[in-house]
Amino acid sequence: MNSLDDFFDYVASMGFERFIRIFWFFVFFELFRYMIIDLIVLTIAKILKVLNRKKTKEALYRLNLEQPLVSIIIPGKNEGKHIFKLVKSLREQTYKNVEIIVVDDGSDDDTPTIGRDMERNGFVDKFIRNEFRGGKASAANLALRFTNGKFIVHLDADCSYNYDAIIQIILPFYMDSKIAGVGGNVMVRNYKTSVATTLQAIEYYDTISIGRVVASQLGIYRIISGAFGAFRADAMTQIQGWDIGPGLDGDISVKIRKMGYKVKFASDAVCLTSAPDNFKKLAKQRLRWDKSLIRFRVRKHRDVFYPSQHFNFSSFFSFLENITYNIVLNVKWYIYFIDMVFNFPHELTFILTMNFFLYTCTNYFKFLVFSLYRTEKNTSISYFLLYMPLMVIYFGYYLRFVRSIAYIQEFFFKKSYDDPWNPPKTSKYAKELGL
C-alpha cells in the first residue's frame, strides 16, 4: 500500500518538464507517431473515403462492366491439405471471372495427387509441379508464366478469404491508373488458440492493419502481404516477377514503387490467416520478417535514397519512415533504457510502472478509438480488452527483443541467407550477388 502511495506521490510531484525528460521516448515516438499522427491520418482517410464515394462507385461500375480475368496464384510446398478448403472459399467469391493456378514447389507429401485430382475435376484451372524445390519466388514466377489474367492475385494456401475479398482487392486498380499493387487486410483466424495468437490478433488489428491504412494514405505503404496481394499483370511483366526471399512480399512492393507505380492497401479486402500459436514459432517468423528489413531496405534497395532515374519521394519517405521507426527507434529505445538506468537509477521501478501504465492506457485508447475507423473485423473487440495490458510486454519487450536480434543477425552476419525458408542453392547466389 505504501508503494502505491509512493508511486502516486512520485507522479504527482513530477511536473511537466520532468515528465517529458523521463518519458521522452513515449511522448515523442509512441504518442506522437503512433497515436496522434495515426488518428489525424485515419480521420483524413475516413473523410476522403466519404468524399470519394462517387469515384468508388464509378470504379466499381467500370470493374463490373469490364469483368477482367483475375489470375489467382497459390505457390507453396506441402500445402495439399489446405488447397481444397482454400479453393472452396475462392469459389464462393462474388467475383467469378478468375483462374486458379496452384504451383507445387517440390512437395514430398500427397500434394501432387491432391492437386492433379483437383485439376482433373475442375476445382483449379492449372496445377503445376516443380519436381525440385526452388523456393517461393521461383514457384510464384512459374505460376506467373501460366497466367492469362489482367490482374494477378497472390495467395497463401493456408488462408481463407471473405466472400468479396477478390473484388475489393481489384477495385483500387480502377480508382487510380498508377496503382500497380494492392495489399489485402490480413487478420488472425485462430485468435482464440493461445495467448500468442490473441496478442497477434490485436497487433494485426492495430499496428498492422491500421498502420497500413495510415501508410497507404500517406503514400508510404511498403509491404503487400504475401498472404493476399494483387498486382497488375503488365507491371509484373515489367519487374519480371518475384526475387528470392525471405521477405519477397516487401521486396516486390519496392520494385513496383521503383517503376513509378503506386501501391495501396485495401482494408476491405479481408484475408484470415493462421498465426503461429506459440512464442517460439512466432519468434522464428518475426526474425525472418525483421531480417528482411535490413536485407531489402538497407542493402538491396538502398538506391531509393540516391538521386537516380527511378527516384521518387514517396519511396524515399517510405524507406525513411520505415528505417527510422523500426531500426532507429529500436536503437533509441535501448538508449532510453540506458538513460533511465544511469540517470534515474532510484526511480527505475516507478518509471517502469509508469511506462506500463501509459502504454496500456494508450493501447486501450487506440484500440477503442481505432475501432471507429476499422471497416472490417472478424470478431467482437470486447474479447481482446482483457489482454490489452499484455500488449506492453508483447510489443514493448518481446517483439522489440526479437527485432533487435534479427537486426544484429542480418546486419552483421547476413543470416537471412541461411534461412531454411529458402533452399540453400538459391540463397547462396542471392548472398553472393547481394540480392
Partner 1 sequence: MALENVKIDAANGTVDYLNSKYIYVSQSRDLKIDRSLSYVGIIIDGKNADFTRMVVKRIRGNQNSEIYLKPIIILNGNAHRDVFIKTLIDGVIFSFDQIPLIHEHVSTINNLTKELTVINSISFEAMVVSKLLYFMFTRELKILEPVPYALSNTNYSFPFLACNFNEFEEYQVLEILEVAIQEGLFKHKFLDRIYLCSNCKSSHLSFREACPKCGSSHTDTFDIVHHFPCAYVGPITDFTNDIDDQLNCPKCSKKLKHIGVDYDKPSVLHKCKNCDNRFQDFHVKAKCMSCTFDNPVESLVDKEINEFTLTKKGESYALQGYVSTPKDIEDIIGTVKFDTFKTVTKYEVERLRQTEGSSNIIAINIENAGQFYAKVGSNAQQLLLKDLVGEIRSSIRSSDMITFYSSSVILVTMFEIPTKISQRIIDDILKLLEKLIKNNFKDLVIEIKANVHQLNYNLSSELQINQLITM
Residues that bind partner 1 (CB under 8 A): 106, 116, 119, 126-132, 134-135, 137-138, 141-142, 145-146, 240-244, 425-426, 428-430, 432-433, 435
Contacts of 96-99 with C-beta under 8 Å, sequence gap 24+, read: 97/67, 97/68, 97/69, 97/70, 98/69, 98/70, 98/71, 98/72, 98/149, 98/153, 98/166, 99/69, 99/70, 99/71, 99/72, 99/125, 99/126, 99/147, 99/148, 99/149
Q: How far is the CB of 108 from partner 1 (least distance, A)?
A: 14
Q: Are 237 and 188 in contact (CB under 8 A)?
A: no
**Local structure of residue 261 (DSSP, 8 states):** -
Nearer to partner 1 by Cβ, of 66 and 424: the residue is 424
Q: Are 83 and 74 in contact (CB under 8 A)?
A: yes
Q: How far is the CB of 131 from partner 1 (least distance, A)?
A: 5
Q: How far is the CB of 328 from partner 1 (least distance, A)?
A: 31
Nearer to partner 1 by Cβ, of 141 and 355: the residue is 141
Q: Find all residues with CB under 8 Å of 149, minimum gap 6, and list them.
A: 68, 69, 70, 71, 98, 99, 233
CA dihedral in degrees (81, 417, 297, 44; nearest 10)? 20
CA geometry: angle 297, 302, 305, nearest 5 deg: 115
Which residue's C-alpha cell is 494514405? 217
Q: How far is the CB of 153 from partner 1 (least distance, A)?
A: 19
Q: How far is the CB of 143 from partner 1 (least distance, A)?
A: 9
Nearer to partner 1 by Cβ, of 251 and 410: the residue is 251
The helix (H) or strand (E) run that includes residue 77 is none
Nearer to partner 1 by Cβ, of 97 and 240: the residue is 240
Q: How far is the CB of 117 from partner 1 (least distance, A)?
A: 11
Q: How far is the CB of 100 from partner 1 (least distance, A)?
A: 15
Q: How far is the CB of 427 from partner 1 (least distance, A)?
A: 9
Nearer to partner 1 by Cβ, of 202 and 233: the residue is 233
| Sheet with 151-155: strands ordered across | 126-130, 98-105, 70-76, 151-155, 228-232, 179-188, 262-273, 160-161
Nearer to partner 1 by Cβ, of 119 and 376: the residue is 119
Q: How far is the CB of 305 from partner 1 (least distance, A)?
A: 23
**H helices within 309-418, ranges in order?**
313-322, 329-343, 348-370, 382-385, 390-391, 399-413
Q: Say how far apart CA 89 and CA 323 lie, in whole Å.
A: 37
Nearer to partner 1 by Cβ, of 139 and 214: the residue is 139
Q: Say how far apart CA 122 and CA 153 lie, in whole Å.
A: 19
Q: How far is the CB of 417 from partner 1 (least distance, A)?
A: 12
Nearer to partner 1 by Cβ, of 116 and 374: the residue is 116
Q: Say how far apart CA 285 and CA 282 lie, in whole Å.
A: 5
Q: Are 381 and 53 in contact (CB under 8 A)?
A: no
Nearer to partner 1 by Cβ, of 169 and 256: the residue is 256
Nearer to partner 1 by Cβ, of 134 and 149: the residue is 134
